[in-house]
Structure 1
Amino acid sequence: MLQKLRERTSGWVATIIIALLMVPFLFVIDQSYLGGVGANNVAQVKAPPTWWKGAPKWWPASMLWEHREVGGDEFRQRFEQERMNQRQAQGEAFDPRAFETMENKRKVLDQLIDEKALQLAAERAGVVVGDDAVREYIASIPAFQVDGKFDANRYQLALSSQVPARTPTQFEQLVRESLQQSLIPLALGTSAFVTDAEFDRIVRLSGEKRDVELALLPAVPVDTAEVGADAIKAWYDAHPGDFTRPESVTIEYVEIDGSRLPAPPAADDATLRKRYEEERARFVEPEQRLASHILVRVDAGADEATRKAAEEKAQRLADQARAPGADFAALARANSEDPGSRDSGGDLGWVERGAMVAPFEEALFAMQAGEVRGPVKTDFGYHVLQLRELKAGAQVAFEQAREELAREQAQADRERAFSDLTGRLTDLVYQNPSSLAPAAEQVGLQVQKLGPFTREDTLGIGASPEVKKAAFSENLIEDGTASDPIQLGPEHAVVIRVLEHTPEQPRPLEEVREQVVAAVRADRQQAAAAAAADALVKRLQAGESFAEVAASAGTQVMPLPGLPRGVPAPSPEANRAIFAVTPPAEGKPAAGRFAMPDGRFALFTVTAVHPGDPAELQAEQRKALRDQLAQIDGAAAVDGYVREIRKSFDVVVQESQL
């Protein structure tokens, strides 16, 4: 049997048969064994061999094409990184469900495909990154430096703390690939430049101003004409997004409100005394000092001579205050420049630590009763201080602190009761997350129901952004399980579970007929207003004066000279319309119209155009603007380069893997 098989599979006939069988086999090899888009990849970038760059995609020997793959793990890691970036940027407004769109996934995948295409193009162009370049780049990364110098220990620690952790060899390869794929785009971007003629033309356009005359047209009559069934149906079919029921949910929830919990029993003296002993340092009357002062004020910007004169004056006052029989209060009333204490003889009352600026306080609390000290310099000027009397700090007795201790203990007991109840409920819910009733019954709380409500509704606890975010989250909707406790405020939390979820859906025509009729009439009214405005524009273009046209429409002309390009006046849309018309010819103004936010239209004519003047730019402004324009051109060149290489390669995407 084997001999017959061997005989019949030899010769030129067998060769042809085997060659024909190889054609589908090549495709199998290309897709399965040689890096095709398989189970582990989401995209592939392929390029024909360099010796046949025009090879068709259907070429049987496509296994000889060069290729790079975007792996599933690589895509998921980059997508998760983008998720974290968006969460950090948007904060509480971040919606993880809304982020999980195919549009966002394709955006991330396109970035990865661009990188693979750039890498493949660089390799085919013979771009090689040497070891010295890799080491130099790594050494320049601030995260690997100590005191501005590369530190090997910091480098190892940083790599090991990454997720996932990388070895130096892996990181060096990553840097090598990144440098390799970026060298050509970087060279393109930095090679861009702007000629003098281009620069002057851009300045003339961007700095252009126009003299404009405006006329706000009156509103056209309200459309009350009949709307036929065909028109209603056509509008409804053409605007499905305008007539939908928003996504809604119905939830059940258990609310834990500390203010509704039974008041804890009053703490006994033993508990309060224990708390008193533990916090004994809190219950000390602070040291106080009865002080007076004389201020010689010095402004912050005063020169050295002024400061010296103020200090000498303060020194003389201090010497006078120390003299036997001196009247400090009289000196203060006559010389102090502190309006708050001067009339009371410089009296500051009883002063505790922390009430005064640091130099003042340090001097005051180093003095003895009856002492005069100064000058003391502060930001306000120079002070002469008098310490009239002092009270040493004293321990407050338990009896005096008892009321405060009892109040604090009661609050702590309430918080502990709330925390314990929340913890018990959470543990019980985790044991049976598909229903709140068993857990609520065991802790003596009620299960309540809310909904249906939408993201815009503000019903009960559904008004809380945190509750709404959880209720419309993908996890709770798909799994039907309970949430973690959601904090609504101090000692106030809820645990929710989604009972029903209704996705956004179109409302039937019968239900929204009146809204459709109103939309059709509003559209007809807007079209009538636009047609009336267009007719007036034609009259202006035919040579009628603006004043005559405006008067016939029952409105007046308002001049608006020197309107700059890009200024949102009268509105952004208006500015774009005004600068979109061709500059007026000699003796013939350019005319146009634009819509106002309230639906009315305005006519305008451009009577004169004043280009920007490049000569008005300072040298620094000119250089900064020129650099900015070169960067814009460079970015456009890089973008064009990436698009072209993607066109020259075969990109295959497996969306089912996203």
Structure 2
Amino acid sequence: MLLKIRDKASGWFAYAIIIMITIPFALWGVHEYFGGGARLVAAEVNGTEITTREFQREVQRQRDQMAQFFGGRLPDGVVDEQALREHALQSVIRRELVRQMVSERGFTISQQAVARELSGIEVFHQNGVFDPERYNRLLEAQRISRGAFEADVAQGLRLEQFEAGVRNSALVTDAEVREYLRLSNQERTLSYFVIPAEEYARDVNIDDEQVQAYYAQNEERFRTPERVRLSYVELDLDRLETELSVSESELRRHYRQELDRFTSPEERRAAHILVRVPRDADDAQVEALRTQARELRARIDEGDDFESVAREVSEDDFSAGDGGDLGYLQRGDLGSALDGVLFTMDEGEISQPVRTNEGFHILRLIEIQPAESEPFEAVRDEVEQEVRARQVESRQIELIEQMITQAYENPRSLAAVADATGLEIRETDWLTREEGEGIGEQDAVRQAAFSTQVLQEERNSDLLELADGRALVIRVKEHEPSTPRPVEEVEDRIRELIRAEESARLAREAGEALLQALREGEALSKVIQGLPGELEEGRTVTREDARVPNEILRTAFGLPAPEEGQQTAGGVSLEDGDYALLTLQSVQNVEPDQRELSSARSHLRGLYGALDFEAVLESLQAQADIKIHRDNL
């Protein structure tokens, strides 16, 4: 499996954003912006330090990414915590290696590119568009300068630029695409027979000595789970919102500040006559058409009806039949040249010919509908919702900042966190690494509770953000280590395990004894006579066939293709202890269509690009001076 250093969908740039800002605006390591606390170093890459906090942020980021695949919550037992932490360590090391390389090679990003990326970050949006005021307010609340933040954005884009250059340079030949599809789409016809292990369970006799021996050899499997009770401080957004009050004067002030949003812009109903100018017209033709437009304007001055002239001569096919009527228009609808004329005219006024890229226009202003603001009373609920949201956001940032700072500066107690925020210290019931109640249901909480920082070092946790918007700081109040359970307590379970293992062994031995006969050409139906189970004959399958156990599919597609009229045979133990015998009768290659060829080429380019990028990372890592401080992880 490739060791990827980031999720492709989010990219290097997204990583930079996640480092600085997370929804709902909780900051990782805000205290570092105040210069507080000693810097713990997780690793050094060519002399550049990677802090323990940066490493911890990456661990949490990867854990959150995995959780998204399961709807926001990781099922028990899915994550190998040690493997996750090692992967996160390699990620931050490799990211730093790439950062150093792009800096040395002079990769650059324009200010326009940075601006485009910033405008696409939804956390800075208000009503669906980028809001400079919100952007500045969020950065100021977090004590991050615009220059520093935008430099980080540019750095993230440089990293993406480099990676895209490597990945997009991958080449795939037609022969490779066809071979890939040949193997992917291949169909195989097989027969198989499953020998059920449970049929051998009655033949398994278990005495007390076997139970004692199994217990002694597998003592770690029969221990009480390690468990803890936690103290914690919790910031709950729903509760925070109910505690905030909004005055009438605040609502009216916000309404006045945002009045433009509650105002319908001025609209003007207009008509026009168009004398179209061809794109390739020379100066003489342009002047002739200008003269024609002036003559039309003169006809109107002399008494001809504007609508009649428009119907007669206007070259705008969409409006000529309606007497040139364009309907109601706002500023910007017609372009700057016509706007500049139309929005300075009086009702009933007719303009002189106006030149645009289309030709010469004669405008008539029919009616003005002035801008109109919705009264405060009509939008009061919307205004209150916005004010409350801003207050919650501001108060949340303030409280989270205090939680992070106080938890870090006073690592042996939550009292300082509670005093600074006004939040109460609560306690959980017992929870284990696999399960708990209340906040103990959350994987992130249990993982933090049993981390080195919280359990062994007896320090407060970092800020933990839950998928429902709550933010926590926890510490261990009480710890119960794992202890061996008495053999008498687990004896029944041990007998079940021994019986299952021995039954599987007997089923495997029975199958393997018959496998040689199959390899010598005996028919499967003849070899299995007298055995319990059901025979499946002549089934044609693909690699993804859900009707056949995966172990059988893998074995079938690993067997060599048989000669015509012959068979190849194999056997495999299944996950539940059963044993399968199978014979392969034929292999069919399926001719791909153009859509499949195109899709496979894109897939292989992505795969080869990832392999190329992995090779670059391995090369950089092999040449680098890297020191890992595992005591600080």
Distance 1:98 1:560 in 2: 37
Would you say the 8 A contact 1:129–1:176 is kept in 2?
Answer: no
* Alpha-carbon distance in structure 2 between the residues aligned to 1:71 and 1:250: 29
Shift of 1:250: 8.1
Instruction: Give yes or no for contact 1:145–1:154 (8 Å, CA) kept in 2.
Output: no
Deviation, structure 1 residue 193: 2.4
Q: Is the 8 A contact 2:189 2:585 kept in 1?
A: yes
Q: Which of the numbers 173, 179, 198 marks the counterpart of 1:195?
A: 173
Where does 1:389-538 land on structure 2 (aligned, <5 Å)?
465=438, 501-509=479-487, 511-538=489-516
- The reply on whether 1:205 has 2:149 as its aligned counterpart is no
| Aligned ranges 1:263-278 → 2 under 5 Å | none
Match of 2:102 in 1: 122
| Match of residue 632 from structure 2 | 657
Aligned equivalents of 1:76, 1:623: Cα separation in 2: 41
Which of 145, 148, 161 matches 1:167? 145
Unaligned runs of 5+ in 1: 1-37, 47-66, 253-432, 435-448, 482-496
> Matched residue of 1:122: which SS?
helix
Q: Tell me, in whole angstroms, the C-alpha distance in 2 between the residues paired with 1:541 and 1:604.
A: 10
Residue of structure 2 equivalent to 1:70: 50
Match of 1:177 in 2: 155
Match of 1:604 in 2: 582
Q: Which amino acid aligns with 1:220?
A: Y
* In 2: Cα distance, 1:176 partner to 1:187 partner: 16
Q: In 2 relative to 1, CA 94–585 (structure 1 residues): closer, same or farther, beyond 3 Å?
A: closer
Deviations, residues 475-534 of structure 1 (Å, cap 9, x unaligned)? 7997999xxxxxxxxxxxxxxx99865344332445434433442332222111101111
Counterpart CA distance in 1 for 2:149 and 2:115 is 9
In the other structure, the counterpart of 1:43 is 43
Q: Structure 1 residues 248 and 70, CA, compared in 2 at 3 Å: closer, same or farther?
A: closer
Partner of 1:242: 221
> Unpaired segments of 5 or more residues in structure 2?
1-37, 232-412, 415-426, 461-474
Identify the match of residue 571 of structure 2 among 582, 589, 593.
593
SS of the aligned residue for 1:622 comes to helix
Distance 1:572 1:97 in 2: 22
Structure 2 counterpart of 1:632: 607
Alpha-carbon distance in 2 for matches of 1:642, 1:238: 42
| Amino acid corresponding to residue 630 of structure 2 in structure 1 | E
Aligned residue for 2:541, secondary structure, equals strand
C-alpha deviation, 1:610, in angstroms: 0.7
Task: For residues 256-291 of structure 1, give each alpha carbon's deviation from its aligned partner in whole angstroms, at most 9, with x where no partner exists.
Answer: xxxxxxxxxxxxxxxxxxxxxxxxxxxxxxxxxxxx
Distance in 2 (alpha carbons) for counterparts of 1:595 and 1:95? 27
Quote the offset at 1:246 in angstroms.
2.7
Q: 1:655 is matched by which residue type in structure 2?
A: R
Q: What is the CA-CA distance between 1:145 and the residue it aligns to? A: 10
How far off is 1:184 after superposition? 3.6
Taking the aligned partners of 2:433 and 2:146, their CA distance within structure 1 comes to 48
Classify the secondary structure of the residue corresponding to 1:194: coil
Q: CA deviation at 1:243?
A: 1.6
Aligned to 2:182, the other structure's residue is in SS state helix
Distance in 1 between the 2:146 and 2:76 partners? 34
Secondary structure, in 3 states, of the residue corresponding to 2:548? coil
Deviation at 1:80, TM superposition (A): 5.5
Letter in 1 for 2:145: T
Residue 129 of structure 1 contacts residue 179 of structure 1 at CA under 8 Å; is this kept in 2? no
Residues 504 and 95 of structure 1: CA distance in aligned 2, closer, same or farther (over 3 Å): farther
Aligned 8 A contact 1:243 1:512 in 2: yes
Q: Distance in 1 between matches of 2:459 and 2:515?
A: 61
Contact 1:144–1:154 under 8 Å retained in 2: no
* Cα deviation, residue 638, structure 1: 0.9
1:69 aligns to what SS in structure 2? strand
1:110 deviates by 2.2
Aligned residue for 1:222?
202
- Letter of the structure 1 residue corresponding to residue 498 of structure 2: V
Q: Which amino acid aligns with 1:203?
A: L
Aligned to 2:113: 136
Deviation sequence 1:559-613 (CA, Å, 0-9, x none): 2432111222222222222212222234331112234565332321110111221
User: What is the alpha-carbon distance in structure 2 between the residues aligned to residue 467 and residue 145 of structure 1?
Assistant: 31
Aligned in 2, Cα 1:638/1:507: closer, same or farther, shift over 3 Å? same
1:117 touches 1:645 (CA, 8 Å); kept in 2?
A: yes
Query: Which residue of 2 is the match for residue 620 of structure 1?
Result: 595
1:186 pairs, out of 159, 164, 174, with: 164
- Structure 1: distance between partners of 2:600 and 2:520: 41
Question: TM-score scaled by structure 2?
Answer: 0.50
Query: By how many angstroms is 1:197 displaced?
Result: 0.8
Q: Aligned Cα RMSD in Å? A: 4.7
SS in 1 for 2:563: coil
Q: Secondary structure at the match of 2:50?
A: strand
Look up the match of 1:641.
616
Alignment of 1:52-91 (within 5 A): 67-79=47-59
Percent sequence identity is 21
Kept after mapping to 1: 8 A contact 2:229/2:478: yes
For 2:535 and 2:41, locate their aligned partners in 1 and report how far apart those are by CA, in whole Å.
66
Aligned length: 378
Larger gyration radius, structure 1 or structure 2: 1
Deviation string 1:139-168 (CA, Å, 9 cap, x unpaired) is 34433799x9xx999457425514744333
In the alignment, is the contact (CA less than 8 A) between 1:227 and 1:517 conserved in 2? no
Which residue identity is paired with 2:54? E
Question: 1:410: which partner in 2?
Answer: none
The answer to whether residue 521 in structure 2 is matched with residue 543 in structure 1 is: yes
| Distance (Å, rounded) in 1 between the aligned partners of 2:217 and 2:145 | 58
8 Å CA contact 2:201–2:500 kept in 1: the answer is no
